[in-house]
Chains A and B, each alone.
Chain A
Amino acid sequence: MTSTVADQTAEQSEPAPPARPGWPRRLLRAVGVQNISLVIALAVLVAIIGAQNSKFFLVTNIETIGTAVTVVGLLAVVQTVVMLLGGLDISVGSAAGLASVVSAMVFMSTHSAAIGILVALVTGVATGVFNGLVIVYGRVNAVIATLATYAGFRGLANLISNGRAQGYTGTDSTFVFLARGSIAGIPTLIWILVILALAVHLMLRYTDIGRNIYAMGGNATAARLAGINLNRYVVGCYIAAGLVAAVAGVLLTARTGSGQPTSGSQGLELQAITAAALGGVAMQGGKGTITGTILAVVLLGVLQNGLTILNVNSFWQDIAQGFLLVVAVIIQQRRRGLRAVGLP
């Protein structure tokens, strides 16, 4: 069937398909400009701190940094997924607190770490289901919904614990292993973060689930018209957030030796969001990588550790962190390079 298109167009020419880019460009693309700037920032920071105090480079100090960032790192990784989807989860810190209390209380009454941890994880999943359903079926904006549950989960944690630290897990071998154990010389905490980060990274990069998450965050209408079940993804991502928050809560219990309704989990959500934004995850969704987030987590951890070993007032640490968040988002907006809204 020949249409009378150009004598040549229809049949003759399958024009040479575009080539794959050369390797330097592919490498740049794979690593990303954002990540390169993070690596540079990290190197500068390490150089400055190391020059001031050589104790910074001790293996024990590096382990300290690693274990200190684990809880935030876990939450930042899962926050990345939620943000890629175009959402935000402010309730992760409160959910972690709730899970922390639950794990300790169940452990105290059953004397089984496994059951305590399991019930805590189920609690985490339940918080995620609740968030997801409110957002999807209540059609509530994600920020508002999780702001509400941020207060709600915290209230619940305080309610069941009477606002006090619960139980004592410091003698249970499972909890001790989680907090201070190691596998192949590397602390368990770091293993947990590395495994989660790697799994999420692979999921985002290589599976259709990951692609669909990016698609939804990039353009929800397009994603829906392409046959993606948006509701399922939203609920799924918030469940993942709840589950990981519960893991973080269990680790908090393990590290402090008791269930903590608020102390220890307060402010974690902000640190997680800061790390994700600093790592290049777009606030409007659809853009960002786990690599970037992890680099940002490490950067923030090094900053905090450095300021501590240099004896800087801890209030300055908060200021530095807030400053970094603003700078990160400003850079992000610049790089988007869109026409400013509102004209002219």
Chain B
Amino acid sequence: MSSDAAAAPRLAATELSKRFAGVQALRAVQLQAYGGEVMALLGENGAGKSTLLKILAGAHRPDSGTLSIDGERVSFSSPRDAHRAGVRIIYQEPEIIPHVSVAENIYVGALPARGHRFTRAALRARVVADLARYGFTSALDPDALGSELSPAQRQLVEILRALTESVRVIAFDEPTSSLSDTEVEVLFRLIRQLRDEGVAVIYVSHRMNEIFQISDRVTVLRDGALVGTVTTAETDEARLVRMMVGRDLTDMFVRERRPRPTGTPALTVRGLSNDDVHDIDLEVYGGEVLGIAGLVGAGRSELAHAIVGSTPVHAGEILVDGNPVRISGPRDAIRAGIGFAPEERKAQALLMQRSVRDNISLAILDRIRVARVVRRGEERAVAQRYTGQLRIRTPDIEQVVSSLSGGNQQKVVLARWLARRPRVLILDEPTRGVDVGAKAEIYAVINQLTADGIAVIVISSELPEILGLSDRIAVMQGGRVTGELDRSEATEERVLALAMAGDLTTDGATR
């Protein structure tokens, strides 16, 4: 901690409260962030972390409570006010303008101009200098178009936007959930640099290892109230979890060992190829969890999309329970018994303006209708069951999904497919943005599904999750399956070795 840390905090919040219809999101929360320090913000899904950051960003106004910066009272009525005061929030899904260059995206609203003629060359030179200063020269091309950027690069643009004005406080809301390990390293390097320059950094994540790597102090919220603040070096994971959930969680999830199933696989994929994946062979048996590991850009999500026919396939065949099925779109896949919960919840899965109930029942409407009329009672019962089972935090099932916290939205996506109970269930990053306790719930549900004989494919970037959950692990790289490991032989090292097999280019991970 820097010397001035002991003095006045850079940012101090006192007694912040915020209520939404039906939910008390924050209850009299106190918070201090110091310059030259990284403070992690931890809490279960719906604990109020994002709400707190949005108040700091001027996007929400608190019902009561005060904010001060360097000892001076401030009150933000818009994000603009917050920017002027040097407070920036990096949201998980930055707004990028698709048809203009990275350089223009970064300086949007503040383009360097002479008179009203803006000079492209000057702009470009400035962006090149910025990239060099923060060590991103190889990660981001200033001339690339917004639409060409990977999630990590989009986030870099958002960060660089923030840094075009002088920042005093910068907050990151779950920045790493769609980043690969190398990209996380780049981000951490930047965070440390900002910290060393005296910026107060607030960091929100559900990944414990990151919290221990990057933070100096941890502030924990539960049910919208402050539980406490501890020094990272003086605590451990178990204690933090106890603060978060208010009870003990016994360590990591371990899936019971089961004999390798025999007979006919529930799903067989033979020679599947398209633009992104090449010559894929896979088998998954009923009652089995097949994990698919690989770096970001290895083609795992693309494989899932190819299996369910949401992207065109050039060659290959798919069999369900040994019977060949013709799949020319997700509709055929679902009819054949293959369900797929995609990775990007907002873009690919959720109806943000509809209720929790509508979202959960979307894939089962054809089962709960009589002469095309949806049986509302049954629909409600299903929605109630899964909101309960997955502990989706919502005042009621009629709440619109957009008002749920990120992790709870993720659980709604899962609930839709759990309710469908297909023969084969493909889950792409099922626990993205989900807190530690809820992860355990989700693993338990997956276990229950396989106990009922359903075949499950889990795609995940978190190795411990893949290793803990899978009976078998297929590792992908460059659109191909580079190897398969039984759980008894799988270790982090071996999975990583396969994930990087033959990958000699250093930027292979950044797609």
Contact = CB atoms under 8 A, between A and B. Distances in A.
A163 interface: no
Interface in A327-344: 339, 341-344
Interface string A209-240: 10110110011011111111100000000000
B388 A344 contact: no
Contacts of B329: 224, 229
B334 A227 contact: yes
B108 A343 contact: yes
B444 A10 contact: yes
B351 A214 contact: yes
A29 B354 CA distance: 12
Contacts of B395: 18, 21
B251 interface: yes
Contacts of B376: 206
B396 interface: yes
A140 B12 CA distance: 54
A286 interface: yes
B146 to A, nearest CB: 11
B73 interface: no
B352 A208 contact: no
B358 interface: yes
Contacts of B388: 14-18
Contacts of A211: 358, 361-362, 365, 374
B260 to A, nearest CB: 16
A226 B363 contact: yes
A139 interface: no
B340 A225 contact: yes
Interface stretch (B111-119, B242-250, B458-466): B242-250
Contacts of A343: 95, 108-109, 161
Contacts of A224: 310, 329-331
A171 interface: no
A59 interface: no
B239 interface: no
A207 interface: yes
Contacts of A20: 380, 396-398
B136 interface: no
A208 B109 CA distance: 45
Interface size class of B (residues with CB under 8 A): 35 or more
A226 B247 contact: no
Most chain B beta carbons < 10 A, residue from A2, A10, A286? A10
Nearest to A224: B330
A219 B351 CA distance: 6
A9 B436 CA distance: 12
Most chain B beta carbons < 10 A, residue from A18, A20, A219? A18
A1 to B, nearest CB: 5
Nearest to B446: A3
Nearest to B389: A14
A226 B416 contact: yes
Contacts of B488: none
Contacts of A29: 398
B310 A225 contact: yes
Contacts of B308: 225
Nearest to A285: B353
A226 B420 CA distance: 10
Nearest to B365: A208
Interface string A16-32: 11111100001001000
B204 to A, nearest CB: 18
Contacts of B441: 5, 9-10
Interface stretch (B209-217, B315-323, B341-349): B341-349
A219 B350 CA distance: 7
B250 A222 contact: no
A19 B95 contact: no
A283 to B, nearest CB: 13
Contacts of B362: 211, 215, 222-223, 226
Contacts of B389: 14
B256 interface: yes
A20 B396 CA distance: 6
A286 B351 contact: yes
Nearest to B254: A4
B95 A286 contact: no
Nearest to B158: A343
Contact of A225 (B95, B342, B397): B342
Given A224-B329, A226-B416, A9 B95 contact: no
Interface string B183-211: 00000000000000000000000000000
Given A19-B396, A218-B352, A6 B342 contact: no
Contacts of A218: 351-354
Interface in A186-210: 206-209
B95 A342 contact: yes
Contact of A342 (B83, B108, B333): B108
Nearest to B393: A18
A287 interface: yes
B491 to A, nearest CB: 20
A213 to B, nearest CB: 12
Interface in A20-55: 20-21, 26, 29
A222 B255 contact: no
A83 to B, nearest CB: 14
A208 B366 contact: yes
A8 interface: yes
Given A1-B256, A3-B254, A18 B437 contact: no
A344 to B, nearest CB: 5
A7 B248 contact: yes
B73 to A, nearest CB: 23
Smallest CB-CB A-B distances: 9 pairs: A218-B351, A17-B388, A227-B334, A5-B440, A208-B365, A17-B384, A10-B444, A6-B249, A207-B372
10 contacts: A3-B443, A9-B441, A17-B384, A18-B396, A206-B376, A218-B351, A222-B349, A227-B334, A229-B331, A344-B80
Interface of B: 22, 59, 79-80, 83, 95, 97, 108-109, 161, 247-256, 308, 310, 329-331, 333-335, 340, 342, 347-354, 358, 361-363, 365-366, 369, 372-374, 376, 380, 384-385, 387-389, 391, 394-398, 416, 437, 440-441, 443-444, 447-448, 451
Given A226-B330, A226-B362, 16 more contacts: A3-B253, A6-B248, A18-B394, A18-B395, A21-B395, A206-B373, A208-B365, A209-B372, A211-B358, A211-B361, A212-B365, A219-B352, A222-B350, A224-B310, A225-B348, A339-B95
